[in-house]
Amino acid sequence: MSFLPVGEQLEIIRRGTTEIIPEEELKNKLQRSYDSGKPLRIKLGCDPTRPDLHLGHSVILRKLRQFQDLGHHAILIIGDFTGMIGDPTGQNKTRPALTVEDVRANGQTYFEQAAKILDPEKTEIVYNSDWLGKMSFEDVIKLASNYTLARMIERDDFTNRFKNEDPIALHEFLYPLAQGQDSVHLKSDVELGGIDQKFNLLVGRHLQKEAGLEQQVCLMMPLLVGTDGVQKMSKSYDNYIGLNDAPNDMYGKMLRVPDELIYTYYELLTDIPVQDLPALKAKAAADPRNSKHELAWTVTRMYYDAGAADAARDHFEKTIINKEIPDEMPEFTFESGQTHKLIHLIKEVKFAPSNGEARRLIQQGGVSLDGENIDDVNYEVTFSGGEALVLKVGKRKFGRLVSPPNPNTKKLVW
């Protein structure tokens, strides 16, 4: 197989990385791969504890895709076994256990979303229960003998919990060992992870040495800061942009990104060539408003297409800048004479994930009917035959609530 020269590969691989341990070994591995025509084995593990991915997850997935494009072998591990233990990284308490069924179901959804970034035909998908689940108790004891408690407790989250006298369950110490055993089993040349995974990745490197294998290189990526500009991107902080977000939502959320993060988002989330990044950095500093719109268009185009990105930009200009009602919006049909609480309506048309979130939106002044702002959480809507109301939730969600003239018309199910 033909590879790019090692220097060119390294330039692409270094893009956006926080740390490579050790980089000299990566260079040597790439040179050997170049000389032999044999691709490196690049490992990325994911514990699908939640079924939905956001742009924060895309940072490390895109790095795996870069290795794919360079001709190397990508291995995506669905941690259906480690997911049941729960990664203690960054936790101040023991994670609740998940069932095999939950992890497997989340894993399927995870891969479907990851396939928006990876080349699915060139990605090897494995489940670590295939080898970890077959280990005997004797095997686990032998595995645990390769690492000391003193080294394990050096880990920041364990150290802090120990000092604060917060409980640490014994099985949590097994998590880094189980993840490291993945590296032994797969004989990975490189393991990818967020910077918060550094300890786990180094354990894998150590276990490979104990097993008499060539050690993997550990490549860490930064944690993407969310749209609030403070916390890492997470659904828990409501500062995320989902990979499955609709184009209008993806475009609109991207415009919330603070000016100082525009360049970082370009670097970590887009395909802009490395040589073009310095000019983009200067432009973002000089003209953040237009740079942010270009960033929003670029990211939306990547996950949809240019037409969807154009439509999202037009939608933003009409509904946010010009405060117009869009010509096209989803319609929801209700029987004439029915009365519904507005909170329930918002959840039912899926403009909010829960009644509680719908209540919050109303209280914050983010809901209107036919242009009239509604701030009463007990507000009710009674439908009359032939009526059509425009419901607006937040800045980008519009829906037409329709009541047919015929009172016997059945409510549509969506």
Same domain flag for 254 and 109 = no
Kindly tell me if the per-residue pLDDT of 76 is higher than 90: yes
Same domain flag for 265 and 159 = no
- pLDDT value of position 409: 41
Same domain flag for 153 and 285 = no
Same domain flag for 24 and 136 = yes
Same domain flag for 209 and 266 = no
- pLDDT value of position 90: 58
Cα four-point dihedral sign 181, 182, 186, 188: negative
- Is residue 414 assigned to a domain? no
Which of 62 and 324 is assigned the larger pLDDT?
62
Confidence of residue 401 (pLDDT cuts 50, 70, 90): confident
How crowded is the C-beta side of 259, counted as CA atoms within 13 Å? 9
Which of 316 and 17 is assigned the larger pLDDT?
17
Which of 49 and 27 is assigned the larger pLDDT?
27
Same domain flag for 48 and 158 = yes
Annotated binding site: 235
Q: What CATH number is attached to the domain comprising 372?
A: 3.10.290.10
- pLDDT value of position 109: 80
13-46 confidence digits (pLDDT tens): 999 999 999 999 999 999 999 999 999 999 999 8
Name the average pLDDT for the chain: 87
φ, ψ of residue 320 to 5 degrees: the values are -100, -50
Same domain flag for 275 and 356 = no
- Is residue 111 assigned to a domain? yes
**323 Rama sector, left if φ>0, alpha if ψ -120 to 50, beta otherwise:** left
Same domain flag for 337 and 375 = yes
337-358 confidence digits (pLDDT tens): 788 889 888 988 888 888 888 8
Same domain flag for 276 and 385 = no
Q: What is the average per-residue pLDDT within 164-168?
A: 84
Domain finish residue from 188, 221, 254: 221
Note whether 254 and 300 are within 8 A (CB). yes
Q: How far apart are CA 293 and CA 290, in angstroms?
A: 5
Confidence of residue 412 (pLDDT cuts 50, 70, 90): very low
Q: What CATH number is attached to the domain comprising 195?
A: 3.40.50.620
* Matching residue, tokens 């494995």: 126
**Beta pairing, strands 73-78 & 217-221:** unpaired
* 3-state secondary structure string across 145-174: CCCCHHHHHCCHHHHHHHHCCCCCCHHHHH
Kindly tell me if the per-residue pLDDT of 85 is higher than 80: no
Kindly tell me if the per-residue pLDDT of 248 is higher than 80: yes
- pLDDT value of position 2: 81
- Is residue 238 assigned to a domain? no
Same domain flag for 355 and 275 = no
Annotated binding site for ATP: 235
- Is residue 366 assigned to a domain? yes
Domain that holds residue 392: 331-403
- Is residue 408 assigned to a domain? no
Kindly tell me if the per-residue pLDDT of 370 is higher than 90: no
- Is residue 231 assigned to a domain? no
Confidence of residue 414 (pLDDT cuts 50, 70, 90): very low
Q: What is the average per-residue pLDDT within 95-124?
A: 81
Domain finish residue from 292, 321, 350: 321
Percent of the chain with pLDDT over 90: 54
Angle value at C-alpha 201, between 199 and 202, nearest 5 degrees: 65
Confidence of residue 251 (pLDDT cuts 50, 70, 90): very high
Domain count, the chain: 3
Q: What is the average per-residue pLDDT within 56-63?
A: 95
Kindly tell me if the per-residue pLDDT of 391 is higher than 50: yes
- pLDDT value of position 411: 39
- Is residue 275 assigned to a domain? yes
Same domain flag for 394 and 263 = no
- pLDDT value of position 97: 63
- pLDDT value of position 167: 85
- Is residue 233 assigned to a domain? no
271-294 confidence digits (pLDDT tens): 898 889 899 999 999 999 999 999
Domain finish residue from 221, 237, 271: 221
Same domain flag for 314 and 346 = no
Nearby residues of 223 by Cβ (< 8 Å), 6 or more positions away? 56, 59, 194, 195, 196, 232, 233
139-162 confidence digits (pLDDT tens): 999 999 999 888 888 887 788 888
Q: What CATH number is attached to the domain comprising 298?
A: 1.10.240.10
Kindly tell me if the per-residue pLDDT of 407 is higher than 50: no
Q: How far apart are CA 365 and CA 368, in angstroms?
A: 8
